Amino acid sequence: MSTVSTLADAICSGDRRALAQAITLVESILDEHQAQARELLTQLMGRERQALRIGITGVPGAGKSTFIEALGEKMIDRGASLAVLTVDPSSAISGGSILGDKTRMPRLAASNQAFIRPSPSAGNEGGVGRYTREAITLCEAAGFDHIIVETVGVGQSELRVAQMTDLFVLLLVPGAGDELQGIKRGVMELADVILVNKCDGELQRAAQRAVADYTAALRLMQPRTPGWTVPVLAVSAHTGEGVSGALDAIEGFHQHSLTEDIFSARRSRQAREALAQVLREGLLEHFMGDPETVRALETVRAEVVSGRMTPGVAAQQLLEAFTSKEGTRE
């Protein structure tokens, strides 16, 4: 039996160490490891459990990690297992990342019903890891009931996560009288559940006002999911208040999506987007892997920076030269 087959069997038996090893394998930049990862994912096709994929994002300081730990504990109390895939932002200067999510969720990390895996964004735009989709597949093969994908909450992360999950949760905090400021309309329109965290102590009254403001704002927006009214709930991850209600809302949406055939439609879109994303990344790697193209890029980049050429014209020249070169190889 091959090493990959052995690893696949171990993952399907629930071996956490094998799961961690497999995620490391798919994240590797080595060609040999990537070939093994593709073989592994192929062997796991049809063997994975259909877990509920939950995307969670929020503004900086929203307390995502604290909330995810509290939510995860409620899930475990109800008999479910969960995997948490988090993304640490990589430094633009050093390329390093903190990878400290296990220390930020100590109780969840200690549970044998939970698996926490931090991954560096490694410069990947969108606030999610490049191989987050593959990690989701591996966690489903390991038999988890729920998979939570947490983002760093920057750039295009909300859209990217919404495209790879079944349910999208937006976590917010009460502001200083201008709760709606800085919250993009498009982000709110993506949400299936909106939660206002830190509803405790001096912020409790402000949190209730924020719930009313967000609820009013949603009435002016096009709902993402037909037949579903997006709930806006106040929670406190610190005290646990409202967390059970948040899980009720998540489970309620899941049931609604199954009844209305929304679940299968989203899974189809996820598959199409996954293929498109892999193709985009592969084509870019192929393009940038050609030394002649890289030299030409440096030349036209200087022209664009100096204002002597538009970005559109520069890109067109590079693409025409590259495709012409590829054609001569056939």
Query: What residues form DSSP beta bridges with 196?
Result: 172, 234
Tens of pLDDT along the chain (330 residues) come to 468 999 999 999 999 999 999 999 998 989 899 999 999 999 998 887 789 999 998 877 788 999 999 999 999 999 999 999 987 654 333 344 445 555 678 999 999 999 999 876 655 554 466 788 999 999 999 999 999 998 876 555 678 888 899 999 999 888 734 445 456 667 888 899 999 998 888 888 888 888 998 898 888 888 788 899 999 999 999 999 999 999 999 999 999 999 888 999 999 999 999 899 888 888 888 898 889 999 999 999 999 999 999 999 999 999 998 888 766 665
Domain spans of the chain, in order of start: 1-47, 48-260, 289-329
What is 48-260's CATH topology?
Rossmann fold (3.40.50)
Tokens, residue 63: 């307390």
CA distance linking residue 164 with residue 162, whole number of Å: 6
Task: Output the pLDDT for position 222.
Answer: 81
Report the distance separating Cα 152 and Cα 165, nearest Å. Answer: 16
Handedness of CA 234, 238, 239, 245 (dihedral sign): positive
Say yes or no: do domains 1-47 and 48-260 share a fold. Answer: no
H or E stretch covering 79: none
pLDDT at position 182:
54
Q: Tokens for 218, please give them.
A: 């949603």
C-alpha span between 104 and 28 (Å, rounded): 25
> 271: closest CA among 166, 195, 153?
166
Give DSSP secondary structure letters for 175-229.
-SS-TTTT--HHHHHH-SEEEE---SGGGHHHHHHHHHHHHHHHTTS--SSTT-P
Q: What is the pLDDT of residue 93?
A: 39
Does the pTM exceed 0.75? yes
**Domain 1-47 fold:** 1.20.5
Cα 14 from Cα 304, distance rounded (Å): 53
Query: 175 near 196, Cβ under 8 Å?
Result: no
